[in-house]
């Protein structure tokens, strides 16, 4: 598979088949993704693979926290407190596409809530990945981690798997760290759903648009 094909095939998948993924498959994806670049070869990534009974226990605890009104608080601020344009419009359009694909109207608050809660189950994917890094690292390691995460997703495509990177899985970091035994002062960047795509699911039928390269590129000769 060409890199360009994998880049265009990758998408945020939100419905998965009930089909097991072996440890060998997961390690092969990660073993290739480890070649992502990082400043001074620091390799800041630490990956937790959660599945089976442990996944069910953890996702139930996260969902319970949300439903009980416990305030989510990530280890860092992912989104801006106020959305400027054009990002505000892109965010809105993204949400419209999602709910349109699901046939959920703006007024169906309960269905919208349940769709959000599905985030905490990693959309019922068989594997839930969590990505940690040491607290003493700085902004450059976030950049390094982004390249690693993209590498994970592209290698998953090559392996015939689907993914969804999820900031939502990092909304209750203390809970996740306590459950998995990671240090309290480590940074939980995000999670990721990993599995086989359910191609019959409507939620997987749409693709978000991308701006043409010419719109965000300037040449200086």
Q: Which residues pair with 191 in a beta bridge?
A: 130, 166
Looking at the chain, the whole-number percentage of residues with pLDDT higher than 90 is 99
Q: At residue 106, does pLDDT exceed 90?
A: no
Q: Which domains does the chain have, with CATH numbers?
A: 3-81+119-206 (3.40.109.10)
SS (H, E, C) the chain: CCHHHHHHHCCECCCECCCCCCHHHHHHHHHHHCCCCCHHHCCCCEEEEEEHHHHHHHHHHHHHHHHCCCCCCCCCCCCCCCCCCCHHHHHHHHHHHHHHHHCCCCCCHHHHHHHHHHHHHHHHCCEEEEEEECCCCCHHHHHHHHHHHHHHHHHHHHCCCEEEEECHHHCCHHHHHHHHCCCCCCEEEEEEEEECECCCCHHHCCCCCCCCHHHCCCCCC
Going by C-beta distance under 8 Å and a sequence separation of 6 or more, which residues neighbour residue 161?
A: 21, 25, 29, 194, 195, 196
- Structure confidence by residue, pLDDT tens digits, 197-212: 999 999 999 999 999 9
Instruction: For residue range 38-86, list pLDDT tens digits in order.
Output: 999 999 999 999 999 999 999 999 999 999 999 999 999 999 999 999 9
Whole-number average pLDDT of the chain = 97
**Confidence tier at 4 by pLDDT (50, 70, 90):** very high
Q: pTM value?
A: 0.96
Q: What is the mean pLDDT of residues 23-45?
A: 98
- Provide the pLDDT for residue 65: 97
CA distance 146 to 93: 24
């Amino acid at each position: 598979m060409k890199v360009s094909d994998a880049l265009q095939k990758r998408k945020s998948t939100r419905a998965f088949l009930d089909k097991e993924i072996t440890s060998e498959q997961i390690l092969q994806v990660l073993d290739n993704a480890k070649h992502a670049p990082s400043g001074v070869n620091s390799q800041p990534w630490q990956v937790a693979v959660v599945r089976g009974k442990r996944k069910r226990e953890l996702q139930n605890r996260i969902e319970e926290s949300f439903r009980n009104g416990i305030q989510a608080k990530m280890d860092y601020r992912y989104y801006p407190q106020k959305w400027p344009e054009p990002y505000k419009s892109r965010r809105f359009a993204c949400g419209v596409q999602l709910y349109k694909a699901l046939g959920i109207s703006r007024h169906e608050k309960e269905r919208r809530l349940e769709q959000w809660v599905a985030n905490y189950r990693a959309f019922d994917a068989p594997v839930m990945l969590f990505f940690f890094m040491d607290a003493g690292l700085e902004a450059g390691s976030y950049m390094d981690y982004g390249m690693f995460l993209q590498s994970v997703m592209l290698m998953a495509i090559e392996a015939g798997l689907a993914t969804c990177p999820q900031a939502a899985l990092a909304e209750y970091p203390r809970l996740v760290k306590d459950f998995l035994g990671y240090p309290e002062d480590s940074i939980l960047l995000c999670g990721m759903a990993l599995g086989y795509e359910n191609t019959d699911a409507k939620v997987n039928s749409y693709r978000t648009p991308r701006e043409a390269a010419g719109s965000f590129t300037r040449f200086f000769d």
